[in-house]
Amino acid sequence: MNFIFQISIPIPFEIQTVNIYLIKKEPITLIDTGMKLPETYRYLDNSLKEAGITWQHIKRVIITHGHVDHFGFGKRIMELSNPTFFVHKEEYLKIKEGITFPKGFAEVLIKNGTPDGMINKIINYVKKVNQFGDKLDKARFNILYGGERIEFDDRFYLKVIHTPGHTPGHICLYNEKDGIIFSGDHLLQKTTPNPLFDWRGKEGNQSQHSKVLIDYIRSLRKIEKLDLKIAFPGHGLPFRDIKSLIQKIYNHHSQRLKNVLNEMDSQKDMTPYQIGCKLFPDMNIKDVLLVVSEILGHLDILLDKEMVKRKVTNDRIYYIKEKLPFYKGIFKDIIKSYIEKLTNLIWLYNSIYPSFFSSNIRISKFFFVFFNLFIP
């Protein structure tokens, strides 16, 4: 894969660097742009020269998602190369018009318990971050929906896979023949991606947020089914242990669900912000948006499992731990899992002892179907 060049660029965030990928096949293509920083131009310019490429050779830029570390340098690339920008429709306006902090975001934070006095500080922090990116209002766009094939010479292609979660329009780029995936921020080896809540309602409505963690888990299951050999992430080095990383992410969120439940009180209503303060007592202003998103995502799952209840009091949203019978929620999932494993084990040994195990297969399958259909 000597046609793929990874360009790692320093950024002023805890994650330290962001990756741009140069695909040296016609038409010459960049995946992501980095941030609006002097270092971005210097690193990218040197890397292009090393690859024997000029700025004018770049014909396409594919943006994995609309965060400034992934599209912030796009305007400068547009001035140097005038490429076509490929973006998912859910990220298009954000990238074309620039990231703003709409009233809806502040409403979600306030209604989920964030103190009013923190909101302006959070908005100022987000505005400061967003200064590292320029809107692409004069760029030429190709809008993606998921499922497209982006073709190159030599029959190489990248298939667009819509992977909502980290952002609503996040995409991964996949080549089935070589088992390659450009995973953006959907899969990162050194850190668990944080799905950020996204405003989906009209301003003035009761706080509504998209169920980003549920979306993210669904997207993970989509990627898990692919035959992958190597992942090129948005941050960090390429890696090959993709299946084990996905399992680690599942385990992380399973543990975090337990942590959220443990911090909740079955006798007391709590806001997501209050739960976040208990789980992350040292969080500062720049962490609040991430923490509230994290807690909301796990509460969405717990709501679906009927393990918590949600209510609105005095224009604030509260959650309380449900008192569940043993067969609901996580306990139901555990029981179903064990019955499924038992069924599979009996099927395995049936070939050895067919007369003994035939009746047990029917019994175990009955219980598995019963729990799936009749236990709420």
* DSSP type of residue 153: G
**In this predicted model, which residue has the larger pLDDT, 101 or 157?**
157
By three-state DSSP, how is residue 104 classified? helix
Residues 203-252 pLDDT 10s:
334 446 678 999 999 999 999 999 999 999 999 999 999 999 999 999 99
What is the reported pLDDT for 203? Answer: 39
What is the reported pLDDT for 211? Answer: 86
Q: Per-residue pLDDT for 173 more than 80?
A: yes
Q: Which two tokens stand for residue 86?
A: 């490929």
What is the reported pLDDT for 217? Answer: 95
Residue 14's pLDDT band (cuts 50, 70, 90): confident
Q: How far apart are the first and last CA of the chain?
A: 50
- Choose the weakest-confidence range: 12-16, 168-172, 274-278, 321-325: 321-325
Q: Per-residue pLDDT for 33 more than 70?
A: yes
- Choose the weakest-confidence range: 122-136, 187-201, 287-301: 187-201
Q: Per-residue pLDDT for 259 more than 70?
A: yes
Q: Dihedral through CA 255, CA 257, CA 263, CA 267, nearest 10?
A: -140
- For domain 4-101+129-248, is the CATH number 3.60.15.10? yes
**In this predicted model, which residue has the larger pLDDT, 130 or 271?**
271
Residue 97's pLDDT band (cuts 50, 70, 90): confident
**In this predicted model, which residue has the larger pLDDT, 120 or 369?**
120
Residue 103's pLDDT band (cuts 50, 70, 90): low
Domain ranges within the chain, ordered by starting residue: 4-101+129-248, 329-374
Q: Per-residue pLDDT for 320 more than 50?
A: yes
In 3-state terms the chain splits into helix, strand, coil percentages (rounded to 5) of 45, 20, 35
Residues 107-156 pLDDT 10s:
889 999 999 889 989 888 888 888 999 999 999 999 999 999 999 999 99
Rg (CA), the chain: 24
What is the reported pLDDT for 340? Answer: 60
Phi, psi torsion values for 355, nearest 5 degrees: -70, -35
Percent of the chain predicted with pLDDT > 90: 66
